[in-house]
A and B are shown apart, each in its own frame.
Chain A
Amino acid sequence: MESFLATCIVAATPLIFATVGEIITEKAGVLNLGVEGMMLMGAVIGFMAGLTTESPYAALLGALAAGAGGALIFAVLTVTLRANQTVVGLTLTIFGTGFASFVGQPMLGSMVPETVGSFFAKRSIPLLGDIPFIGPVFFRQDIFVYIAYLIVVIAAVYLFKTRIGLNLRAVGESASSADASGINVEFYKYVHILLGGALCGLGGAYLALVRVPIWQADVVNGRGWIAVALVIFASWNPVKALFGAILFGGLSILGLRLQAMGFSVSQYLVDMIPYLATIVIVILSSHKKGRENQPPADLSNPYFREER
């Protein structure tokens, strides 16, 4: 049971990065459907950086930059050039998929170099890792996982306890009100779109560098989309996102678990579970009432100052 839960955390980690990243973007009032694309871009560039330089730091930086780069294209098109967010997000996903396939072609089948791989090996946190049950599940993981925990905490504090977080939420709820209060709406949107993209890139890099340390083009395999759904499930709250991601992580490895336990379940039907579960939460979310669970009121509305 312990090992199953520990693996749940591992499966949850890329979802945590992508979901928290997209929460930040959506809190700014921007709906970026290019999560899958940005994760792939982060994955391929992160892998390539790690492969060529054999430095784990370069790999992480590369992934951050690539995710942010994809997000930058999105930001320029939707914030400055006022294009439709849904179409641009989808295009980003298609572009990101093609980009990862194209750039990753020469690396097909390559393995992550030793220096990088060992950096991301599991380490136990002293004291915390020894707590019975909780220790091995949460605190004997690799560094990426610990970063994920930190990101959740930082994001939650940032959004709900800081002045900038309050301004950000104002932008997402009513850009014209935020503008009238003296907030630079465009700047806030740009910064948070890029931040969101960088986190997505990290999520993709985790998959490429740690989870399946051999390059393959479909390394993300729809998780970006599950993250988009998780944002709704988490009611735009990073802490709830953590739990949602763990839940989904578990669902995605449930099939293997059941098989290992002796149930003869068709692999392929079990593969459907995460996606079916996502459908269920999307349906349930549309039922959610209560003011505090609603999306940012100005989500996906472009803001032009004179057309208030």
Chain B
Amino acid sequence: MNFLRLAKRDDLPREKEWIIRIAAVLLSLVFAGLILIIFGLHPLEIFRTIIEGAVGSEMRIKQTIIKAVPLIITSLGILVAFRMKFWNIGGEGQIMMGAFAASYVALFLPEMPKALTLLAMAAAAMVGGGIWAFIPAIFKAKMGTNETIFTLMMNYVAIKFVTYLQYQAWMDPAAKGFPKIAPFPERALLPHVFGVHAGWIIAILCVSFVYFFMNYTKKGYEIAVVGESVETARYAGMNINRIIIISMIISGGLCGLAGMIQSAAVEKTLSVGISGGYGFTAIITAWLGRLNAIVVFFVCIIFAMLIQGGAYIQIALNVPSAVADVVQGIILFFVIGSEFFLQYRVLPGQRLQRSGKEAA
């Protein structure tokens, strides 16, 4: 890179920031398009179909919303953990365990009126997800254990556990040998509001809650301080262990809630596919949304459109839905890379120079 000069930017006006980000997204689409061409596909057709599949009809819009709901709630959960620099990769597992807890209430607790059942399911789900996040959190707090791998492994344990339930312990005898768990009774299903299951209301409530929590409460402030510097948090007299644990319980609780919604409204039972990769996608959306609840909301909607569109092109064009994953990945790489250009200006020049803000 000896023919390029880099100069650090001092302060970038907001508009320029967005221009660079949008340019990155557009560039990534062009690049993705090229990849698609290499594999013998028509990029424009694919992009068009993705959008059509996401918002082309009332039913498809509903499908997009249905996909957005768990993504939003899970992303909020990840956001809270990431603010504290706790790398919670265990969203998948926390969703699963939340769904498991909710399923237990739905299938094995005595009959209750609908409202009560759903409330109990939600509460159980948040506890389930919360506990699943609490375990790695307590080890991090007490022993400094690496949370990235711990939470990840908890994913696999949770998935295997639900597999065990689905294929063995809870296998529905009425399904005649087909590995399924019994469908939820009516009282355990989320009602519909405006044609879509009530999860969307829950999602909006969660966005408001997390936004308020992170920006206006003491705990939210403490989480941000711990995330920036544990030493400063100690200096200020914060109870760090407590903060880690509370934020992880909230993080896991939100993921668990997403799991409850998926089981109570989409799958209408418990199955291995409930988490559907949302736990991982949520990491990306939370990060792209710069850990801000409201921006994350919108990022999730866009991603949901991509996912829904991806599912649609499988049906409409007989193209594997994994294409959407690849496109997602490419967009992501470009946006991550574009952060660099927000910090530095690249100029044509003679020699390599890197300029930083620091003087002698």
Looking at the assembled complex, report how far the CB atom of A130 sits from the nearest CB atom of chain B, in whole angstroms. 40
Q: Is the CB of A232 within 8 A of B168?
A: no
Q: Which residues of B sit under 8 angstroms from A278, Cβ to Cβ?
A: 149, 153
B146/A304 in contact, CB under 8 A: no
Which residues of chain B from 249 to 297 have any CB-CB distance to chain A below 8 Å in the complex?
280-281, 283-284, 287
Smallest CB separation, B163 vs chain A (Å): 5
Residues of B within 8 Å of A3, CB to CB, are none
- Say which residue of A33, A82, A92, A283 sits within 8 Å of B148 (CB atoms): A33
Partner of B358, one of A73, A103, A225, A307: A307
Pairwise interchain contact B339-A102, C-beta atoms closer than 8 A: no
In the complex, chain A residues 64-98 whose Cβ is within 8 Å of any chain B Cβ: 73, 76-77, 80-84, 86-88, 90-95, 97-98
CB contacts under 8 Å to A, within B115-164, are: 139, 143-146, 148-150, 152-154, 156-157, 160-161, 163-164
Q: Are A279 and B322 in contact (CB under 8 A)?
A: no
A101 interface residue per 8 A CB criterion: yes
Please state if B329 and A95 are interface contacts (CB–CB under 8 Å).
yes
Q: Which of A11-19, A195-203, A204-212, A264-272 contacts B (4 or more CB under 8 A)?
A: A264-272
Chain B residues 319-351 with CB under 8 Å of chain A are 320, 322-326, 328-330, 332-333, 336-337, 339-340, 343
Complex Cα distance, B82 from A90, in Å, reads 14
Nearest opposing residue in chain B for A89, CB measure: B148
Which bracket fits the contact residues of B? 35 or more
Check A287 for interface membership: any CB of B closer than 8 A.
yes
A269 to B: closest C-beta gap in Å? 6
Does B232 belong to the interface (CB within 8 Å)? Answer: no
Assuming the contacts A276-B153, A283-B143, asked whether A307 and B356 have C-beta atoms less than 8 A apart, the reply is: yes
> Which positions 137-196 of chain B face chain A at CB distance < 8 Å?
139, 143-146, 148-150, 152-154, 156-157, 160-161, 163-164, 167-168
Q: Verify if A305 is at the interface (C-beta below 8 Å from B).
A: yes
Known: A77-B337, A94-B325, A282-B149. A268 touches B157 (CB 8 A): no
Nearest B-chain residue to A90, judged by Cβ? B283
* Chain B: minimal CB distance from A300 (Å): 10
Q: Can you sample 17 A-B contacts with CB below 8 Å?
A: A77-B333, A80-B1, A81-B337, A82-B343, A90-B89, A94-B325, A94-B328, A98-B324, A102-B322, A102-B323, A232-B149, A266-B164, A279-B149, A282-B149, A283-B143, A286-B143, A307-B357
